[in-house]
């Protein structure tokens, strides 16, 4: 109704289901009546019933759960977000291209202006717990290069094995390079160049052979070229090369021109390599070399830079921290790397680089790139990283909206140890990056497309950016254990917006090597299916607790302030998502189908780990899913169906299933001790066919439990983890009785959401408790009455109060619940069978004793009588017959 009391209607309403919804302002109150009690509706009989309407909560017994909109934006997968304007196209990797995620706007052509979209990838990069300093990073890169040169030298020795394959399938320039390395003398000494050699002969050989052929007129000397801090030592004996001596020395020939017959054969392509090296030297003199070239190319000897030129040393190259610099992030980061080949030994090859597992462990810098398409305005694109605490959704984003704080660590004397800036996102605008690397003040070139590289070093905690392959000044320092998600904030100015490239650079690993925590590091960029693009959702639904805390506040005084007292604590079970650093009520999973399915399957996996009495796994799981969690889960009325069944199955698997399986195996074994207990138990004739009693005298396995422990010293003394099954039994019998009572009529809101989820867990747990002997005689009587009250309830009145009363055997139940009830009845019949066998044994024990006593009495009477021998022989014949005939004779009396 509107404000004047008039009715408002809607036409052409489409949809599967609708629920009541309303809004409340600050300070407003409302009393809601959903019709669980029809008598509480004042005008229903006059206004609603005649038109065929029903109250919303008709045939519902539990209180309705309320949900409210929570103004905390969270990231959600674009494929699960119905109102997203972003289309994501997954482009698989090619022969020389990395995997990509193409972002496009699906409604750009129909909108005058697009809104800001806040995007991130679903898997985070986690910084190390302890950061390293710059010298340690330099040492690691030094070790990486040593290992790479050793791998290259080892691979060169195996190159001739591929010649036959090359001749059959043809060869390329890379094969020629491989052949050249196989014949090269310098490649053999690669390991000697990078690592210090202890052999005097090796040192003399390295001194005799220069690293490159000198040109006539150039500086040369017979000894090593000494080099200290980029300057030449005085008195080093430098002179001009005016003869062929130096060239002969470079080629490995002796000074007297004599040929060494034992000398190794040279490569037939040596002439081309000399010309290529010479041209490379001339080109390097005209420009300053990039630091990457000094480290990534396997040098024949160490290099040092001075005044824009490079000097080579041919002496023993003992690497030190001052000489070996870490690769600069500005080198060739824009170019895609060739795809690697993973060998059976765990070594990956990318172009001329080789990586083994130890090399990959030392690399902790990761990269992802963003290529902005032409037409997209870079001033409306922010690129960078976000943390788990980013919850800002605005119509126009800028850096001023990001809250920042500076965290300073100080010692006990208040001296600053470390300081870093903390914020929820680390984003930079694309045009600002472009302006730092270009001389164009107008920025027109940026609108024609550009590429941005984002780097994070998890070992040092530094975050850097490049644009068009050039380094920028933007640099951030992270805290240890920080979780960072690659993120892009964009306001679309074209339909095709940008593309996220998941490749790598020569000094970094792909993003997949960081986000896939369970796999080893790798050089080949991978494209895991669970790596999704997520969009920031401005609102979310949150569940209102069914029971709230009763808090009492009392003002003590103006000085002492207020006192708050909570009467009874209320338990809840929360679900923690580590990747997002957030928790939610486990009851909220009823609205999240995929997450609900995932956790239900997780509980099934936990149950499977306890198969075949795996007590060690059961004790380990009890430290993860403890007693309080299980008791809360089985008692919760609002738990979703899959989780309800999963927790019941987990409880059975952890604490009951092992002994229940043992009892089920022994159900056909009857070990009955003869004695007074057996006779006293079956004095009542009805006990021999009883279903009401569980008392037996048979020897059966006894259930044992051990306390839950973290450290297991002896597995031989380990049994099922302890759990208070008495409390579980009392609750289960009460819950099953309530379920039978509520299901007498149609019930729209059963616990678990369906008839199967209501009865199946209860009947299954009762069946397991019956097998392990935890049920009592009174519990069995209640159970039989719930099955068929007309047969087992002595107070049942068919024509009176119980005319419409039904038992479990007469109710409409799901097939799964019917099957479980059949199992329960089968085990009850097994108990009845055991009673019958024990009563037969008891009867046989007494019956044979009576027969023998009667035979003895009659035999003595015959012997004491004065009968003729012929007559006495006839009367005593039965005592001389086999036992079967004796029994038949006794039966005739």
**815 and 795 housed in the same domain:** yes
**122 and 140 housed in the same domain:** no
Question: Residue range 475-500: average pLDDT?
Answer: 93
Structure tokens at 159: 């190159």
Domain of 107, CATH number, reads 2.60.120.920
DSSP conformation letters of 855-889:
HHHHHHHHHHS---HHHHHHHTGGGGS-HHHHHHH
Tell me whether residue 57 is in a domain. Answer: no
pLDDT at 68 over 80: yes
Question: Residue range 42-60: average pLDDT?
Answer: 82
pLDDT at 144 over 80: yes
**120 and 143 housed in the same domain:** no
127-141, 374-388, 393-407: the lowest-pLDDT one: 393-407
Tell me whether residue 317 is in a domain. Answer: yes
How many alpha carbons lie under 13 Å from residue 700 in its C-beta half-sphere? 22
pLDDT tens, 549-590? 888 899 889 999 999 998 888 899 999 998 888 899 999 999
**305 and 446 housed in the same domain:** no
Alpha-helical segments (H) within 14-93? none
Tell me whether residue 556 is in a domain. Answer: no
Q: Of the ranges 7-11, 113-117, 270-274, 295-299, which is most confident?
A: 113-117
Tell me whether residue 231 is in a domain. Answer: no
Q: How many whole angstroms separate alpha carbon 840 and alpha carbon 838?
A: 5
pLDDT tens, 208-239? 444 444 444 444 444 443 333 333 333 344 44
pLDDT tens, 754-781? 999 999 999 999 999 999 999 999 999 9
Residue where a domain stops, chosen among 309, 329, 349: 329
**657 and 804 housed in the same domain:** yes
Closest CA to 328 of 371, 355, 296: 296
pLDDT at 484 over 80: yes
Helix (H, G, I), strand (E, B) or coil at 160: helix
Binned at pLDDT 50, 70 and 90, residue 339 comes out as: very low
In terms of pLDDT, which residue wins out, 395 or 179? 395
**261 and 178 housed in the same domain:** yes
Helix (H, G, I), strand (E, B) or coil at 774: coil
Tell me whether residue 657 is in a domain. Answer: yes
**791 and 813 housed in the same domain:** yes
Tell me whether residue 68 is in a domain. Answer: no
Structure tokens at 434: 């472009």
Q: How many domains does the chain have?
A: 3
**398 and 421 housed in the same domain:** yes
Q: Are 207 and 193 in contact (CB under 8 A)?
A: no
How many alpha carbons lie under 13 Å from residue 780 in its C-beta half-sphere? 21
Q: Are 515 and 124 in contact (CB under 8 A)?
A: yes
**276 and 392 housed in the same domain:** no
pLDDT tens, 810-852? 999 999 999 999 999 999 999 999 999 999 999 888 787 888 8
For residue 684, with 0-12 CB atoms within 10 Å meaning exposed, 13-18 middle and 19 or more buried, which class applies?
A: exposed
Q: What is the mean pLDDT of the chain?
A: 80
Structural domain boundaries enclosing 709: 587-839
In terms of pLDDT, which residue wins out, 228 or 458? 458
Q: How many whole angstroms separate alpha carbon 650 and alpha carbon 222?
A: 80
Residue where a domain stops, chosen among 329, 352, 383: 329
Residues making up the chain, counted from first to last: 893
Q: How many whole angstroms separate alpha carbon 383 and alpha carbon 458?
A: 19
Question: Residue range 677-695: average pLDDT?
Answer: 90
**283 and 144 housed in the same domain:** yes
Binned at pLDDT 50, 70 and 90, residue 152 comes out as: confident
Tell me whether residue 67 is in a domain. Answer: no
The pLDDT value recorded for residue 428 is 95
Helix (H, G, I), strand (E, B) or coil at 633: helix
Residue where a domain stops, chosen among 512, 538, 564: 538
DSSP state of 46: I
Question: Residue range 614-635: average pLDDT?
Answer: 94
Tell me whether residue 163 is in a domain. Answer: yes
**665 and 715 housed in the same domain:** yes
Structure tokens at 233: 């030592």
pLDDT at 417 over 70: yes
**179 and 123 housed in the same domain:** no
Q: How many whole angstroms separate alpha carbon 210 and alpha carbon 250?
A: 6
Q: Are 491 and 394 in contact (CB under 8 A)?
A: no
> What is the pTM for the complete model shown?
0.75
In sequence order, which residues have a C-beta less than 8 Å from that of residue 686 and are 6 or more positions away? none
Binned at pLDDT 50, 70 and 90, residue 541 comes out as: very high
Query: What percentage of the chain reaches a pLDDT higher than 70?
Result: 76
The pLDDT value recorded for residue 173 is 57
Cα separations (Å) of 54 from 13, 359, 615, 623? 19, 71, 53, 49
Span between the terminal Cα atoms of the chain, in Å: 95
Question: Residue range 414-442: average pLDDT?
Answer: 87
175-179, 375-379, 509-513: the lowest-pLDDT one: 175-179
Q: Are 781 and 789 in contact (CB under 8 A)?
A: no
The pLDDT value recorded for residue 205 is 41
């Amino acid at each position: 109704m509107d404000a004047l009391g008039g009715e408002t209607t809607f036409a052409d309403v489409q949809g599967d289901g609708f629920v009541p919804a309303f809004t409340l302002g600050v300070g407003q109150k409302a009393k809601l009546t959903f019709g669980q009690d029809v008598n509480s509706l004042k005008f229903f009989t006059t206004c609603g019933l005649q038109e065929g309407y029903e109250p919303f909560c008709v045939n519902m017994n539990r209180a309705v759960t309320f949900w409210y909109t929570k103004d905390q934006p969270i990231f959600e997968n674009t494929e699960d977000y119905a109102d997203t304007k972003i289309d994501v196209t997954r482009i698989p990797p090619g022969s020389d291209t990395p995997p990509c995620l193409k972002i496009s706007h699906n409604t750009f052509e129909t909108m005058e202006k697009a809104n800001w979209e806040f995007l991130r990838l679903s898997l985070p990069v986690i910084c190390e717990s302890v950061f390293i300093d710059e010298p340690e990073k330099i040492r690691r890169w030094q070790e990486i290069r040593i290992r790479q040169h050793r791998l290259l030298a080892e691979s060169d020795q195996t190159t001739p094995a591929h010649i036959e394959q090359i001749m059959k399938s043809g060869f390329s320039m890379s094969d020629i390079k491989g052949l050249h390395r196989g014949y090269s003398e310098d490649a053999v000494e690669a390991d000697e160049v990078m690592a210090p050699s202890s052999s005097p002969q090796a040192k003399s050989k390295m001194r005799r052979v220069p690293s490159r052929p000198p040109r006539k007129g150039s500086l040369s000397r017979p000894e090593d070229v000494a080099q200290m801090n980029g300057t030449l030592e005085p008195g080093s004996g430098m002179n001009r090369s005016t003869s062929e001596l130096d060239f002969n020395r470079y080629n490995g020939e002796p000074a007297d021109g004599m040929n060494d017959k034992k000398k190794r054969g040279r490569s037939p392509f040596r002439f081309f390599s000399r010309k290529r090296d010479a041209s490379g030297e001339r080109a390097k003199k005209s420009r300053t070399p990039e630091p990457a070239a000094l480290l990534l190319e396997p040098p024949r000897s160490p290099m040092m830079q001075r005044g824009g030129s490079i000097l080579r040393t041919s002496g023993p190259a003992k690497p030190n921290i001052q000489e070996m610099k870490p690769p600069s992030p500005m080198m060739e980061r824009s170019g895609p790397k060739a795809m690697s080949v993973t060998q059976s030994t765990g070594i990956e090859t990318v172009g001329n680089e080789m990586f083994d597992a130890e090399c990959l462990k030392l690399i902790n810098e990761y990269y992802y790139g963003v290529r902005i398409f032409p037409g997209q305005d870079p001033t409306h694109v922010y690129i960078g990283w976000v943390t788990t605490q980013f919850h800002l959704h605005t119509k126009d984003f800028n850096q001023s909206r990001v809250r920042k704080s500076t965290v300073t660590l100080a010692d006990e004397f208040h001296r600053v140890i470390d300081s870093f800036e903390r914020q929820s996102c680390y984003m930079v605008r694309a045009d600002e990056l472009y302006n730092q690397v270009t001389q164009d003040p107008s920025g027109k070139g940026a609108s024609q497309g550009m590429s941005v590289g984002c780097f994070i070093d998890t070992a040092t905690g530094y975050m850097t950016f490049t644009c068009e392959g050039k380094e920028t000044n933007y640099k951030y320092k992270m805290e240890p254990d920080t979780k960072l998600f690659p993120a892009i904030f964009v306001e679309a100015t074209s339909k095709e917006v940008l593309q996220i490239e998941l490749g790598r650079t020569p000094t970094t690993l792909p993003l997949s090597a960081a986000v896939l925590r369970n796999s080893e590091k790798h050089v080949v960029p991978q494209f895991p299916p669970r790596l999704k693009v997520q969009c920031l959702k401005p609102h979310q639904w949150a569940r209102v607790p069914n029971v709230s805390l009763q808090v009492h506040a009392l003002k003590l005084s103006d000085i002492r302030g207020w006192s708050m007292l909570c009467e009874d604590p209320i338990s809840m079970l929360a679900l923690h998502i580590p990747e997002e650093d957030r928790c939610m009520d486990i009851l909220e999973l009823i609205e999240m189908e995929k997450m609900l399915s995932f956790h239900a399957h997780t509980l099934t996996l936990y149950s499977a780990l306890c198969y075949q009495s795996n007590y060690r796994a059961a004790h380990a799981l009890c430290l993860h899913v403890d007693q309080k969690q299980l008791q809360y889960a089985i008692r919760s009325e609002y738990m979703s169906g899959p989780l309800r069944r999963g927790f019941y199955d987990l409880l059975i698997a952890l604490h009951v299933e092992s002994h229940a399986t043992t009892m089920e195996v022994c159900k056909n074994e009857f070990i009955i001790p003869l004695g007074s207990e057996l006779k006293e138990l079956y004095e009542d004739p009805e006990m021999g066919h009883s279903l009401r009693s569980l008392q037996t005298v048979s020897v059966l396995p006894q259930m044992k439990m051990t306390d839950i422990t973290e450290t297991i010293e002896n597995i031989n003394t380990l049994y099922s983890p302890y759990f208070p099954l008495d409390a579980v039994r009392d609750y289960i019998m009460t819950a099953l009785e309530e379920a039978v009572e509520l299901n007498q009529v149609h019930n729209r809101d059963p616990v678990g959401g369906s008839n199967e989820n209501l009865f199946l867990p209860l009947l299954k747990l009762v069946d397991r408790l019956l097998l392990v002997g935890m049920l009592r005689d009174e519990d069995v009587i209640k159970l039989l009455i719930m099955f068929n009250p007309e047969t087992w309830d002595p107070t049942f009145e068919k024509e009176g109060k119980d005319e419409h009363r039904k038992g479990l055997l007469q109710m409409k139940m799901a097939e799964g619940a019917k099957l479980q009830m059949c199992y329960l009845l089968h085990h009850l019949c097994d108990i009845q069978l055991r009673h019958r066998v024990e009563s037969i044994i008891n009867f046989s024990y007494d019956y044979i004793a009576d027969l023998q006593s009667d035979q003895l009495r009659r035999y003595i009477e015959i012997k004491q009588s004065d009968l003729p021998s012929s007559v006495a022989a006839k009367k005593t014949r039965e005592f001389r017959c086999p036992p079967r005939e004796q029994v038949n004779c006794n039966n005739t009396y």
